[in-house]
Amino acid sequence: MAKDLDYYLSLPYAILLVPSDEEDGGWLARIPDLPGCITFGETKTEALDMLEDAKLTWISGRLEAGDPIPEPQPQPVS
């Protein structure tokens, strides 16, 4: 299987969603396995939707530059 954009977008990357420390509230969403892939939204849904766009942009940029793209790492079970 070719490791193209569709391949990476189909992988089950873990998402970290946390409330913002900002006075106005909101949510921060990031993909820990993709350094710098982070975004903010007023609601959880908005933050997650924006994270999908950020992931697409992050992976596309790395593919175009020929840079390696980390695949999801196993997450600890608590």
Contact indicator for 52, 37 with CB cutoff of 8 Å = no
Q: What is the pTM of this model?
A: 0.87
Domain ranges of the chain: 5-65
Each residue's pLDDT tens digit, 39-61:
999 999 999 999 999 999 999 99
Contact indicator for 25, 3 with CB cutoff of 8 Å = no
Each residue's pLDDT tens digit, 20-40:
887 788 999 999 999 999 999
For residue 75, pLDDT beyond 80: no
CATH topology of domain 5-65: Double Stranded RNA Binding Domain (3.30.160)
With 0-12 / 13-18 / 19 or more C-beta atoms within 10 angstroms meaning exposed / middle / buried, residue 76 is: exposed
Q: DSSP characters for 15-49?
A: -EEEE--STT--EEEE-TTSTT-EEEESSHHHHHH
